């Protein structure tokens, strides 16, 4: 929309008095040539980065390095909600496409744009109320900020393992982590969020206010309805945990089956990831588990005894420690890499044929300079206490999230990467018969067919209604966004 068109709408007239001078006037619409970046810069408390700025390329770079060549024209480094609002309105006034970025970990590179990147990473404050355990986070907070703020109080939320991942992206798409079986998904602990809409309004969303949009913010994925500038969570107490990492190189099918049997009957206090890895230069596959138990080493040993009866691990680390020390053992930095991950939800146990297919495909991996991995994250427990339609996250009542991750580096020739991508697609398609047609929206996948069904299932119709209500002009859009 042009500046004049915007101000003719009810929303535009309502907000005109509070806008910067350049937008509250009635000048005609889009200017010829380059947009007036100086006007936007003057309206910001934060900084506007242009391509000639020293930090521009570093800030613009996404986590998924294969999309690093997609550079914006400018980056608004927002220091406040007012900066977000001004950036959203300016983008529409001058017909510049926009995108929001918090941590930049979109698997498909959807947090970049040829227009204006609205970056909220400087809005990263985390405050904990020690009396209530309520945590208030800025829209740009990352897992590392949550770690640092929660540690002194012995409290946590369901957070991710990668420290650099933005909480906004995590929670808006559901949010998985080792706490999810005991305490629910990240979005299940969300009590309120604040969001800036395309028309400039900033809304509080909770069970009491704008409850339809709050419902959508718990699982639809970021970038669909507006830009979230704040989140309020109810934290929970944490104490001592037993963390573990074990690996096997022999009798992998039997070990996989024994681990799966153990995991599906384990208490909700167990959080676990199982991985089968083909690594460049390695002679064979490695099966490993990583996770935590809110219990003792002896309790973990009892759980793993049937697995050890099948095959002893080739490597193992088991330690008991305070929760936040345990997270340092479990976590990774989340630095940028070349990666394509394709997911499927698993409603039940994996059959012997499914396990055989996983091992067969990994042994047939064409190979890159890095690795290929099939993995699952154990679900169930507290996740299933809500019905699939109680939040936008529809994928409850599943035993696990599975995924196939392909990694490579800049030294891999393009032809080799293309061969590996074909292998990845074949593997992904073969696994549908053993898993489901549903995929995790936070592992957003540009190659996924029928992505709206895969991500949202029976919740899609309601999500489209909410999209039409809060973003009728489809300002917030990307190649796999919810359509109006």
Residues 465-474 pLDDT 10s: 999 999 999 9
- Same domain membership, residue 84 and residue 34: yes
Domain annotation covers residue 484: no
- Same domain membership, residue 397 and residue 265: yes
Domain annotation covers residue 321: yes
Q: Is pLDDT above 90 for 5?
A: no
Q: Is pLDDT above 50 for 10?
A: no
Q: The domain spanning residue 298 has which CATH number?
A: 3.40.462.20
Q: With bands split at pLDDT 50, 70 and 90, how would you rate the model's confidence at 23?
A: low
- Same domain membership, residue 384 and residue 322: yes
Average pLDDT value for residue range 96-125: 97
Domain annotation covers residue 476: no
Domain annotation covers residue 437: yes
Q: In the prediction, which pLDDT does 21 show?
A: 54
- Same domain membership, residue 154 and residue 104: no
- Same domain membership, residue 203 and residue 279: no
- Same domain membership, residue 199 and residue 280: no
Average pLDDT value for residue range 233-238: 98
Of 300 and 23, which is predicted with more confidence? Answer: 300
Range of the domain at 351: 240-454
Q: CB-based burial of residue 389 (10 Å sphere; 0-12 exposed, 13-18 middle, 19+ buried)?
A: middle
Domain annotation covers residue 477: no
Q: With bands split at pLDDT 50, 70 and 90, how would you rate the model's confidence at 6?
A: very low
Q: Which of 96, 119, 142 is the last residue of a domain?
A: 119
Q: The domain spanning residue 142 has which CATH number?
A: 3.30.465.10
Average pLDDT value for residue range 91-114: 97
Q: Which of 119, 150, 178 is the last residue of a domain?
A: 119
Domain annotation covers residue 381: yes
- Same domain membership, residue 409 and residue 269: yes
Pairing mode, if any, of strands 236-237 and 155-156? antiparallel
Report the chain's mean pLDDT, rounded to a whole number.
94
- Same domain membership, residue 134 and residue 281: no
- Same domain membership, residue 168 and residue 101: no
Predicted model pTM: 0.93
Q: What pLDDT digit, counting tens, does each position of 126-141 carry? A: 999 999 999 999 999 9
High-pLDDT (> 70) share of the chain, %: 93
Q: The domain spanning residue 19 has which CATH number?
A: 3.30.43.10
Q: Is pLDDT above 50 for 15?
A: no
Q: Is pLDDT above 70 for 147?
A: yes
Q: With bands split at pLDDT 50, 70 and 90, how would you rate the model's confidence at 3?
A: very low
Q: What pLDDT digit, counting tens, does each position of 152-161 carry? A: 999 999 999 9
Q: Is pLDDT above 80 for 16?
A: no
Q: Is pLDDT above 50 for 303?
A: yes
Domain annotation covers residue 148: yes
Domain annotation covers residue 479: no
Q: In the prediction, which pLDDT does 326 show?
A: 98
Q: Which of 82, 98, 119 is the last residue of a domain?
A: 119
Q: Is pLDDT above 70 for 19?
A: no
- Same domain membership, residue 107 and residue 134: no
Q: What pLDDT digit, counting tens, does each position of 453-466 carry? A: 999 999 999 999 99
Q: Is pLDDT above 90 for 67?
A: yes
- Same domain membership, residue 224 and residue 262: no
Domains identified in the chain, total number: 3
Q: With bands split at pLDDT 50, 70 and 90, how would you rate the model's confidence at 20?
A: low
- Same domain membership, residue 196 and residue 104: no
């Amino acid at each position: 929309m042009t500046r004049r068109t915007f101000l003719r709408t009810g929303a535009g007239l309502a907000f005109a008095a509070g806008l910067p001078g350049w937008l509250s006037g009635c000048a005609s619409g889009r200017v010829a040539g380059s947009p007036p970046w100086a006007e936007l810069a003057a309206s910001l408390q934060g900084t506007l980065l242009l391509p000639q700025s020293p930090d521009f390329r570093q800030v613009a770079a996404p986590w998924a390095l294969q999309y690093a060549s997609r550079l914006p024209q400018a980056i608004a480094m927002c220091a406040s909600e007012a900066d977000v609002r001004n950036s959203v309105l300016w983008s529409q006034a001058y017909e510049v496409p926009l995108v929001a970025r918090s941590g930049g970990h979109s698997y498909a590179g959807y947090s970049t744009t040829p227009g204006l990147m609205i970056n909220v990473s400087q809005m990263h404050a985390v405050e904990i109320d020690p009396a209530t355990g309520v945590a208030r986070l800025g829209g740009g907070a990352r897992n590392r900020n949550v770690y640092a703020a929660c540690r002194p109080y012995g409290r946590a939320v369901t957070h991710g393992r990668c420290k650099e991942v933005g909480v906004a992206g995590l929670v808006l798409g559901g949010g998985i982590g080792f706490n999810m079986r005991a305490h629910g998904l990240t979005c299940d602990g969300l009590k309120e969020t604040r969001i800036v809409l395309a028309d400039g309004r900033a809304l509080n969303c909770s069970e009491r206010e704008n409850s339809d949009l709050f419902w959508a913010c718990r699982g639809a994925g970021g970038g669909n309805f507006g830009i979230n500038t704040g989140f309020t969570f109810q934290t929970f107490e944490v104490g001592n945990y037993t963390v573990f990492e074990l690996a096997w190189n022999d009798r992998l099918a039997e070990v996989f089956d024994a681990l799966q049997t153990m995991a599906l009957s384990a208490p909700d206090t167990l959080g676990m990831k199982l991985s089968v890895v083909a690594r460049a230069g390695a002679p064979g596959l490695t099966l490993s588990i990583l996770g935590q138990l809110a219990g003792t080493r002896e309790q973990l040993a009892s759980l793993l005894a049937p697995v050890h009866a099948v095959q002893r691990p080739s490597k193992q680390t088991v330690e008991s420690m305070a929760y936040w020390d345990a997270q340092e053992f479990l976590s990774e930095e989340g630095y940028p890499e070349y990666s394509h991950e394709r997911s499927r939800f698993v409603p039940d146990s994996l059959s012997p044929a499914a396990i055989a297919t996983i091992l067969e495909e990994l042994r047939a991996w064409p190979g890159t300079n890095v690795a290929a991995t099939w993995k699952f994250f154990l679900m169930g427990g507290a996740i299933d206490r809500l019905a699939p339609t109680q939040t936008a996250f529809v994928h409850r009542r599943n035993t696990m999230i599975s995924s196939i991750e392909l990694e490579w580096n800049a030294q891999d020739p393009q032809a080799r990467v293309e061969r590996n991508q074909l292998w990845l697609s074949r593997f992904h398609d073969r696994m549908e018969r053993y898993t489901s047609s549903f995929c995790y929206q936070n592992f957003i996948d540009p190659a996924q067919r029928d992505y709206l069904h895969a991500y949202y299932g029976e919740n899609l119709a309601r999500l489209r209604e909410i999209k039409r209500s809060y973003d009728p002009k489809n300002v917030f859009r990307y190649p796999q966004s919810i359509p109006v």
